Structure 1
Amino acid sequence: MVDDLAKKIESWLRQQMIDRGARGLVVGLSGGIDSAVTAALCINACPDNTLGLIMPCHSDPRDAEHAVLLAEKIGLGYKTVVLDEIFSQMVVMLTGEEYDPGQKDLSVVNIKPRLRMTTLYFHSSRRRSLVVGTSNLCETTVGYSTKYGDGGADLLPIANLVKAEVRELARHLGVPREIIEKPPSAGLWHGHDDEKELGVTYDQLDRYLLTGQADEKVKEIIDELAVNNLHKKQMPAIPPQY
């Protein structure tokens, strides 16, 4: 069943390339499980022209190490683009202050994924390739992404999969155990923990999305996140023709 799912997604990726006249795929390698699964699907779908980009930006060094580990395990060509300096310069330019690695100001830390999006599209344009996003169903449902950052992509191949399904697919695709078992983190600040920021666990999200069942408090948090972040899934509003 898992093998069949992987093959269907890989076939879908190939068809998307044909439909859009693309020569290849470009995917960001964060060192996490979602990007690992996405990258493995991409290299299987397009073994001759898939590029992985490792883009540390004041990041935990282990993330880049895990990204390299994954790329070498699945035979994925990759480039590393260090964004520390340009990010720091932008923070000073915009705020007048030096970057504090512990700060949680979203207006500042969301610059990181937006710089990564710019980097991905630079390479995709040069290679006539599609940018492949890594969001799963839990994230797309509650809008857990940065608008025009990691939310900016041409394809979202695992956006119909809850976290448990992503883990199952990761094991099937040979993703290293260190990546499968590491705590989920968007890495926007030092010590960033996805589940703490969301206020719910991925297991709770999975259960609610698959069965509709959850404690009332969990339901309330998930539903509120989904409503508040709905704008991330919508196209820019256009007035009627007057």
Structure 2
Amino acid sequence: MKEAIARQLTLNSDLTIEVLVAFIREEVQKTGLDTAVFGLSGGIDSALVAYLATQALGRNHVRAVLMPYQTSSQASLSDAEQVVNDLDIPSFTVPITASVDAYFDTIDQVLGVKANALRRGNRMARARMATLFDLSAHFGALVLGTSNKTELLLGYGTQFGDLASALNPVGDLYKFQVRQLSKVIGVPQSILDKAPSADLWEDQTDEQELGFSYDEADELLFQLVDLRVDPARLVAAGARPELVETICRRIARNHYKRKPPIIAKVSNRTIGIDFRYLRDWGQ
């Protein structure tokens, strides 16, 4: 990443943490609730959310949920447990292997073809989010999302899976900024050092699957989205044309994942079009 872009991306860590902690506290409490639940994968994004939520609500008002599949990395599970121990927060381990495998045992026979890794990964992500929303009802807690801005812009996530949540405190942080805040807030070094992975199949890494590094993505995304630099100017300045094209295409192609479902308009006031109020209207 170019030094000038890195400087622009660098946040006032203490102030940003203060803002995000206040965001979680206010958005949870304005619903009349006082507890949050979130998936803890052992990755840096969910670890940061765990630390922010604990500061915002207190250790007795957060619920961390570990949801391993049989191929999940043992190292990731250990990292998640380290976060739990460091914060001394309540946690629950809910394996998803049986439910995911039961589904594919059935659907593979119905379709007459074995599901590929993408379909299995999407099912795992949705099984995890279904678990979180069930526990949300059990605990009377809001589900916190853990998808960062880089992932949201690239569409690197599963619709109604890991992209679903009630609140997302890290959705406006690029991966570079997630790393920055995680170092300051005290996320364990083992998490800071390891390669990012959705951990949906063995030996998966985000950057290998994407085909480029998060630093490369953040540099271009920041210029394209935040600074509104024309793609042609980036190429003229030395950016790889194929990478600029790939990232621009991903931003546009995956926009549907960032929007609520489209409702066909047949009345005078349609939800989301003419009938629009703030999220906390009526509270």
TM-score bin (small chain):
over 0.9
State how far apart, in whole Å, the 2-side matches of 1:216 and 1:157 are: 33
State the shift of 1:109 in Å.
2.0
Instruction: Show the counterpart of 2:142.
Output: 130
SS in 2 for 1:96: helix
Kept after mapping to 1: 8 A contact 2:39/2:132 = yes
State how far apart, in whole Å, the 2-side matches of 1:89 and 1:197 are: 27
SS in 1 for 2:196: coil
Match of 1:11 among 19, 22, 25: 22
SS in 2 for 1:189: coil
State the shift of 1:96 in Å.
2.7
Match of 1:2 among 13, 32, 41: 13
Name the TM-score, length of structure 1 as normaliser: 0.93
Residue 191 (structure 2) pairs with residue 201 (structure 1): no
Bigger drift between 226-235 and 145-154 goes to 226-235
Alignment of 1:133-144 (within 5 A): 133-144=145-156
Instruction: Show the counterpart of 1:96.
Output: 109
Unpaired runs of 5+ residues, structure 2, are: 1-11, 225-233, 268-283
RMSD over equivalenced CA pairs, Å: 1.8
Moved over 4 A (4+): none
Kept after mapping to 2: 8 A contact 1:200/1:221 = no
Unpaired runs of 5+ residues, structure 1, are: none
SS in 2 for 1:26: strand
Residue 46 (structure 2) pairs with residue 35 (structure 1): yes
Name the TM-score, length of structure 2 as normaliser: 0.80
The sequence identity of aligned pairs, in percent, is: 32
Match of 2:27, as an amino acid?
Answer: Q
State the shift of 1:208 in Å.
1.1
State how far apart, in whole Å, the 2-side matches of 1:224 and 1:200 are: 14
State how far apart, in whole Å, the 2-side matches of 1:224 and 1:22 are: 40
Kept after mapping to 2: 8 A contact 1:26/1:51 = yes
State the shift of 1:114 in Å.
0.6
Instruction: Show the counterpart of 1:230.
Output: 255
Indicate how the Cα distance of structure 1 residues 104 and 169 shifts in structure 2: closer, same or farther if over 3 A, else same.
farther
Alignment of 1:131-170 (within 5 A): 131-170=143-182
SS in 1 for 2:159: coil
Instruction: Show the counterpart of 2:57.
Output: 46
Structure label with greater radius of gyration = 2
Kept after mapping to 1: 8 A contact 2:34/2:57 = no
Match of 2:132 among 112, 120, 126: 120
